[in-house]
């Protein structure tokens, strides 16, 4: 069981957060960034796996997004590039462009810690692959639950929530987020 209370520290060019824990070693959180995202991930997360899962539909290897950029030098750069492109595509599909949208993506090592984070925030147990929290402008997911489909769905929630002056009803937001995933390649 982990607490969500974290302490931020700096290590070289990375920012880290140490999460308190009862039964195990404290998790070390690393941070990377891109134009539109801050990515926080447990140090045990395999970034190559995350980058691969963000391309399950083959959008970045000559597919829908083509190969307009050379390969990134690091997995964090590749993840950032893919997240930025997916966000731009979600905005295009919705034809909604919220100004200065900056989203945090928090990646847990496994789904049990993701579920625990949800429980700590909302007091109920859910088995989500990912979820977006408007108040924190954060998408929460795990190494093996993240995918291009899952993340673009959550990005759509962020776009919709930040575009309108009042958040739309949950069912409307869910319809729009599903629409984005279905029309990603159209």
Which pLDDT tens digits describe the chain residue by residue (186 residues)? 333 433 333 333 333 443 434 445 568 999 999 999 999 999 999 999 999 999 877 766 555 555 545 565 799 999 999 999 999 999 999 999 999 899 999 999 999 999 999 999 999 999 999 999 999 999 999 999 999 999 999 999 999 999 999 999 999 999 999 999 999 886
Secondary structure of 46-80 in HEC code, one letter for each residue: CHHHHHHHCCCCCCCCCCCCCCCCCCCCCHHHHHH
Are 137 and 100 contacting, i.e. CB atoms less than 8 angstroms apart? no
- Per the structure, how many domains does the chain have? 1
Burial (0-12, 13-18, 19+ Cβ within 10 Å), 48: exposed
Domain that holds residue 164: 2-182
């Amino acid at each position: 069981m982990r607490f969500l209370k974290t302490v931020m520290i700096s290590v070289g060019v990375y920012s880290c957060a140490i999460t308190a824990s009862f039964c195990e070693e404290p998790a070390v959180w690393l941070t990377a960034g891109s134009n539109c995202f801050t990515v926080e991930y447990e140090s045990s997360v395999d970034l190559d796996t995350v980058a691969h899962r963000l391309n399950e539909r083959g959008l970045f290897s000559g597919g829908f997004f083509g190969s307009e950029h050379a390969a990134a030098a690091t997995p964090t750069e590749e993840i950032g590039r893919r997240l930025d492109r997916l966000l731009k595509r979600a905005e295009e599909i919705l034809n909604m462009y919220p100004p200065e949208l900056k989203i945090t993506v928090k990646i847990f090592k496994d789904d049990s810690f993701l579920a625990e984070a949800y429980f700590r925030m909302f007091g109920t147990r859910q088995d989500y692959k990912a979820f977006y929290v408007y108040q924190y402008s954060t998408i929460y997911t795990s190494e093996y639950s993240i995918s291009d489909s899952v993340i673009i769905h959550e990005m759509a929630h962020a776009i919709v929530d930040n575009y309108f002056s009042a958040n739309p009803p949950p069912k409307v937001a869910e319809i729009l987020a599903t629409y984005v995933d279905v029309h990603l390649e159209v």
